[in-house]
């Protein structure tokens, strides 16, 4: 097994805010086809947010912010199979009931990183595909860390769904979003005049850029390839082919094993 | 941040603040509302008497209330900047009394009135209780109306209106009202 760090792709991160109009409820906001504002700054204090605020005549208006990231994983060696991974991002601050979860964003950045983040990417979060079970507030991640160094990092262990997305994409990539778990992912309306916020450092250089740390098996003999372990491969036949080739035999006893001729 | 702590900007056409977190402009009130402010004011003043206005805003409805034949005009305003504007506006109006504070906090300083217009902005501590308290603020046959953000015969305050006047409007872009018809609630006690 080997490891590789994949930093977020340049200019392919940021947040999208959706502020509802009068008389729109929470469901209307989180199911909107587009957001209202894209933010691309490095230090964003409301990168992930669920909010209810009271405006004219005690009317309740809702807003929601989601953070999006695109990772170009093509630096993985050819034939590599990712077996584990961690998404890491530095936090800015937090408030309220603000568990966070990592989910698939199946259309953001033009699906392949070809486009910058747009307001239309707000609705591209595929909530059925959760990429991590780590939630702020759970036993495993009970604080949203804030800061620009190691102590400010927040780690999300990628689950099998996320790893499958990387392995099955071509070229290899991961498009994901951080959303509030309690209200956005769970679709429960925040209480009147309440706010839950997580800030994010969208660092563009250095050691603390949003990143994936991936563990992978290298392709090739002796390594697990697409779930086939070395013990399951017909290694003796491969040896035979090689021996015949070395001897200049006209007809090998075996011609192909696991795609190797 | 609570509304009363927001730094408001006053222009000829609007009052607004910019949220420092989102850079969104939140309009508090705009001058496209003049036709509906006139309708609110004329309705609650149609029997004259003592009038209560909760929320001063740009003073548009206050001007229309003053244009009617009334005895007194009490205004409750919670935002310090708006309160100062209201005081300046009232300098030459002897029948005006302005109270600074959240309407719920100052409710014991209020009497019963012949007309009431409720038009607040931002979180008020007991907004949900207004539907129960309003009857104590009204005299018999008193007329009440309130801002309605819904574009239908319903309202966010949960008060059952007797009827609604539908007023065509052309709102400038804002986050609080974007419909072409305003449903003005009317209720007599």
For every residue of chain A, DSSP letters joined together read -EEEEEEPPTT-EEEEEEEPPTT--HHHHHT-SS-SEEE--SEEEEEEEEEEEE-BTT-EEEEEEEEEEEEE-TTSPTT-EEEEEEEEEEEEEEESS--EEEEEESSGGGGTT-S---GGGGGGEEEEEE-----BTSSSB-S---SSSGGGEEEEE--HHHHHHHHHSSS-EEEEEEEEIIIIIS-PPPPTT-EEEEEEE---SSTTSSEEEEEEEPSSTTS-BTTB-GGGS-HHHHHHHHHHHHHT-SS-S---BTTB-
Residues of A with CB under 8 A from a CB of B: 17, 19, 21-23, 36-37, 45-46, 53-61, 63, 192-193
Range of the domain at B50: 3-188
What pLDDT was estimated at residue A143? 79
> Does B22 sit within 8 Å of A56, measured CB to CB?
no
* B13: pLDDT strictly greater than 70: yes
Q: Does B133 touch chain A (CB under 8 A)?
A: no
What pLDDT was estimated at residue A96? 87
The two beta strands, B50-54 and B72-77, are parallel
Please report residues of A whose CB lies closer than 8 A to that of B183: none
C-alpha to C-alpha distance for A164 and A154, rounded to whole angstroms: 22
Q: Does B22 touch chain A (CB under 8 A)?
A: yes
Interface contacts A/B by beta carbons within 8 Å: 73
Q: Which of B118, B121, B155 sits opposite A55 (nearest CB)?
A: B121
* The token pair that represents A254 in the structure block: 């075996």
> Chain A: residue nearest B150 by CA?
A23
C-alpha to C-alpha distance for B68 and A32, rounded to whole angstroms: 45
> Does A23 sit within 8 Å of B151, measured CB to CB?
yes
Q: Does B104 touch chain A (CB under 8 A)?
A: no
C-alpha to C-alpha distance for B75 and B37, rounded to whole angstroms: 15
Q: Which of A22, A36, A46 sits opposite B176 (nearest CB)?
A: A22
Q: B146: Cβ–Cβ under 8 A, 6 or more apart, which residues?
A: A57, B117, B118, B119, B155, B157, B159, B185
C-alpha to C-alpha distance for A32 and A189, rounded to whole angstroms: 15
> Does A19 sit within 8 Å of B127, measured CB to CB?
no
Please report residues of A whose CB lies closer than 8 A to that of B24: 17, 19, 36-37
Please report residues of A whose CB lies closer than 8 A to that of B23: 37
Q: Report how many domains make up chain B.
A: 1
* Residues B142-187 pLDDT 10s: 999 999 988 889 888 889 999 999 999 999 988 889 899 999 999 9
Please give the helix or strand (H or E) that residue B177 lies within, else none: none
DSSP-assigned letter for residue B50: E
Residue among A39, A41, A44, A43 nearest A19 (CA): A39
Residue among A5, A4, A3 nearest A208 (CA): A5
Q: Does B148 touch chain A (CB under 8 A)?
A: yes
> Does A61 sit within 8 Å of B176, measured CB to CB?
yes
Suggest the residue from A14, A35, A37, A55 to mutate for an interface test with chain B (most B CBs closer than 10 A): A55
CATH label of the domain that carries residue B11: 3.40.50.150
> Does B24 sit within 8 Å of A60, measured CB to CB?
no
What pLDDT was estimated at residue B178? 86
Q: What average pLDDT score do residues B75-89 get? A: 97
Q: Does B151 touch chain A (CB under 8 A)?
A: yes
Distance from CA of B129 to the nearest CA of A (A): 11
* Residues A131-160 pLDDT 10s: 987 776 554 445 799 999 999 999 999 999
The count of C-alpha atoms lying within 13 angstroms of the C-alpha of A241, restricted to the half-sphere facing its C-beta, is 13
Q: What is the pTM of this model?
A: 0.80
> Does A22 sit within 8 Å of B149, measured CB to CB?
yes
Distance from CA of B115 to the nearest CA of A (A): 17
Residue B115 has phi, psi (to 5 degrees) of -145, 145
Distance from CA of B155 to the nearest CA of A (A): 9
What pLDDT was estimated at residue B176? 87
Q: What is the mean pLDDT of chain B?
A: 94
> Chain A: residue nearest B55 by CA?
A57
Q: Delimit the domains of chain A by residue range.
A: 2-217, 225-261
Q: Which of B21, B151, B157 sits opposite A57 (nearest CB)?
A: B157
| pLDDT above 70 as % of chain B | 97
Give pLDDT < 70 ranges for chain A.
136-142, 220-261
What pLDDT was estimated at residue A106? 81
Suggest the residue from A43, A51, A58, A119 to mutate for an interface test with chain B (most B CBs closer than 10 A): A58
């Amino acid at each position: 097994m080997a490891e590789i760090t994949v930093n977020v792709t340049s200019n392919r991160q940021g947040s999208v805010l959706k502020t509802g109009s009068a008389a729109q409820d929470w469901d209307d906001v989180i199911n909107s086809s587009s957001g209202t504002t894209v933010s691309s700054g490095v230090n964003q204090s409301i990168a992930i947010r669920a909010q209810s605020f009271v405006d004219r005549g005690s009317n309740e208006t809702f807003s929601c912010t989601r953070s999006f990231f695109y990772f170009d994983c093509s630096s993985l060696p050819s034939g590599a199979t990712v077996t584990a991974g961690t998404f890491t991002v530095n936090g800015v601050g937090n408030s309220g009931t603000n568990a966070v979860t990592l989910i698939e964003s199946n259309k953001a950045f033009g699906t392949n990183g070809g486009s910058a983040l747009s307001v239309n990417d707000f609705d591209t979060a595929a909530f059925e595909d959760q990429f991590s079970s780590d939630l702020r507030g759970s036993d495993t991640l009970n604080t949203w860390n804030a800061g620009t160094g190691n102590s400010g990092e927040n780690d999300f262990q990628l689950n099998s769904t996320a790893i499958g997305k990387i392995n099955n994409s071509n070229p290899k990539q991961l498009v994901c979003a951080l959303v509030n778990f309690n209200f956005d992912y769970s679709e429960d309306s925040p209480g009147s005049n309440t706010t839950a916020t997580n800030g994010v450092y969208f660092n563009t250089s250095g050691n603390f850029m949003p990143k994936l740390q991936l563990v992978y098996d290298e392709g090739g003999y002796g390594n697990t390839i697409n779930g086939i372990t070395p013990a399951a491969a017909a290694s003796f036949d491969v040896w035979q082919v090689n021996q015949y080739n070395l001897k200049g035999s006209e007809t090998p006893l075996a011609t192909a094993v696991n795609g190797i001729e | 941040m609570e509304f009363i702590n927001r730094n408001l900007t006053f222009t000829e056409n609007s009052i607004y603040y910019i949220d420092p977190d989102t850079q969104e402009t939140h309009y508090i009130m705009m001058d496209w509302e003049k036709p509906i402010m006139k309708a609110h004011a004329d309705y609650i003043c149609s029997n004259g008497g003592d009038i209560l206005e909760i929320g001063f805003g740009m003073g548009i409805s206050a001007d229309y209330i003053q244009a009617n034949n009334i005895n007194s005009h009490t205004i409750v305003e919670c935002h310090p900047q708006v309160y100062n504007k209201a005081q300046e506006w009232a300098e030459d109006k002897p029948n005006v009394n302005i109270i600074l504070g959240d309407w719920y906090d100052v409710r014991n300083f209020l009497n019963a009135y012949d007309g009431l217009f409720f038009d607040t902005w931002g979180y008020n501590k007991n907004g949900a209780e207004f539907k129960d308290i309003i009857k104590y603020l009204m005299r018999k046959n008193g007329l009440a109306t309130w801002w309605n953000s819904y574009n239908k015969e319903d309202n966010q305050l949960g008060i059952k209106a007797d009827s609604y006047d539908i007023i065509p409007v052309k709102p400038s872009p804002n986050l609080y009202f974007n419909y072409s018809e305003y449903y003005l609630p009317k209720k007599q006690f």
